[in-house]
């Protein structure tokens, strides 16, 4: 995008905030990037009438409206298979100043998936109020609704988030527990030890694959300890040569897997992460292969930290 010097300065000043907001609103780094660019395109094509007024409120209004439109289209058009958030490098999470949900929590998969229960308006209000610390009046102005509507919508959004809020884990040590559980499970799968693989899973474990229609992936969640274990043991028998590297994404550990020469319909890049219960058994595995969702990730390099799926 070719910007005039004043517009370029505005872009640099406000881009991190807008990207942080739009990632949390859409759950997709690629969508957030596209909407940031479209927001500044609107600034160039049809700037606000009062150029002396602070620019951020106007940019926020445009960005949030674009994001809400995208959420409506997503729900109207549907998605191929289960939808998962797009993982993002932790250093790219961006700033926010809320005191109900802090910066890392508001980008975790658990939080982003909980937001999926909200309407686009509820999602926008909750993010502006509880994550980005906007006042009621600011939020009303951004969304072009009344202050009373902001309060009512926030109450409903918080009520919809109640199950998430009740189960919010203590973050201390959680990342290490998740990574250890995932590595323990995959080691059992690689060795073909079905009993050990099942023992690493909670009884109600669920596997969610997001291939976005790009690659082979389960189109429905796989539910239950034994079905999830069998699914991965079946993959292991195919000796898929993925090189895996631990990375910190969305503030929590994940495994980034690479198979550069993967023949279709297998994915050349894959992110695997998990949630654990109080006994450190895996209660959810998320595997993301959709090309658009992984476009912003740097692929792992083979090295001392990498392990191989079929080793």
pLDDT tens-digit series, residues 195-216: 999 999 999 999 999 999 998 8
Buried b (16+ CB within 10 A) or exposed e, 60-83: bbbbbbbbbebbeebeeeeeebbb
Residue 282 clears pLDDT 80, i.e. is over it:
yes
Contact 161, 114 (CB under 8 A): yes
> HEC profile for 80-145?
CCCCCCCCCEHHHCCCCCCCCCCCCHHHCHHHHHHHCCCCHHHHHHHHHHHHCCCCHHHHHHHHCC
Contact 22, 94 (CB under 8 A): no
pTM for the whole thing?
0.91
287, β-bridge pairs:
209, 272
User: What's the whole-number average pLDDT of the chain?
Assistant: 90
Q: Which residues contact 105 (CB under 8 A, 6 or more apart)?
A: 111, 168, 171, 251
Which percentage of the chain shows pLDDT scores above 90?
69
CB-based burial label for 214 (10 Å; 0-12, 13-18, 19+): middle
Give how far the C-alpha of residue 61 lies from the chain's centroid of Cα atoms, to the nearest Å: 22
- Range from 95-104, 158-167, 209-218 carrying the lowest mean pLDDT: 95-104
- pLDDT value for 306: 58
CA dist., res. 94 & res. 19, Å (int): 7
Model confidence at 28, pLDDT cuts 50, 70, 90, reads: very high
- pLDDT value for 49: 82
Block residue for tokens 């998936």: 113
- pLDDT value for 118: 97
- pLDDT value for 34: 97
Q: What is the mean pLDDT of residues 275-289?
A: 96
CA dist., res. 133 & res. 158, Å (int): 15
Model confidence at 300, pLDDT cuts 50, 70, 90, reads: low
- pLDDT value for 303: 47
Residue 113 clears pLDDT 50, i.e. is over it:
yes
């Amino acid at each position: 995008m070719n910007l005039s010097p004043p517009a370029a300065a505005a872009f640099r000043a406000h881009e991190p905030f807008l990207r942080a907001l739009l990632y949390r609103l859409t759950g997709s780094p690629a969508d957030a990037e596209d909407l940031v660019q479209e927001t500044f395109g609107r600034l160039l094509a049809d700037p606000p009438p009062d150029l002396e007024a602070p620019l951020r409120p106007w940019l926020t209004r445009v960005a949030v409206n674009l994001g809400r439109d995208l959420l409506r289209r997503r729900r109207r058009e549907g998605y191929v298979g289960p939808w998962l958030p797009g993982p993002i490098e932790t250093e790219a999470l961006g700033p926010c100043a809320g005191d109900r949900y802090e910066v890392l929590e508001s980008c975790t998969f658990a939080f982003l998936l909980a937001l999926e229960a909200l309407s686009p308006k509820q999602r926008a209000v909750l993010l502006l109020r509880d994550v980005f610390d906007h006042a009621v009046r600011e939020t009303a102005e951004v969304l072009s609704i009344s202050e009373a509507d902001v309060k009512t919508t926030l109450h409903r959004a918080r009520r919809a988030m109640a199950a998430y809020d009740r189960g919010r884990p203590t973050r201390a040590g959680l990342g290490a527990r998740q990574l250890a559980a995932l590595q323990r499970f995959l080691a059992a799968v690689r060795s073909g030890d079905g009993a050990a693989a099942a023992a690493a899973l909670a009884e109600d474990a669920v596997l969610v694959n997001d291939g976005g229609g790009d690659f082979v992936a389960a189109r429905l969640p796989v539910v239950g300890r034994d079905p999830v274990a069998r699914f991965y043991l079946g993959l292991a028998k195919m000796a898929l040569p993925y090189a895996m590297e631990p990375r910190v994404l969305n503030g929590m550990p994940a495994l980034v897997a690479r198979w550069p020469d993967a023949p279709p319909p297998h994915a050349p890049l894959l992110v695997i992460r998990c949630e654990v219960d109080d006994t450190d058994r895996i209660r959810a595995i998320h595997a993301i292969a959709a090309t658009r969702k992984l476009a912003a990730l740097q692929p792992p390099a083979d090295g001392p930290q990498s392990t191989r799926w079929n080793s």
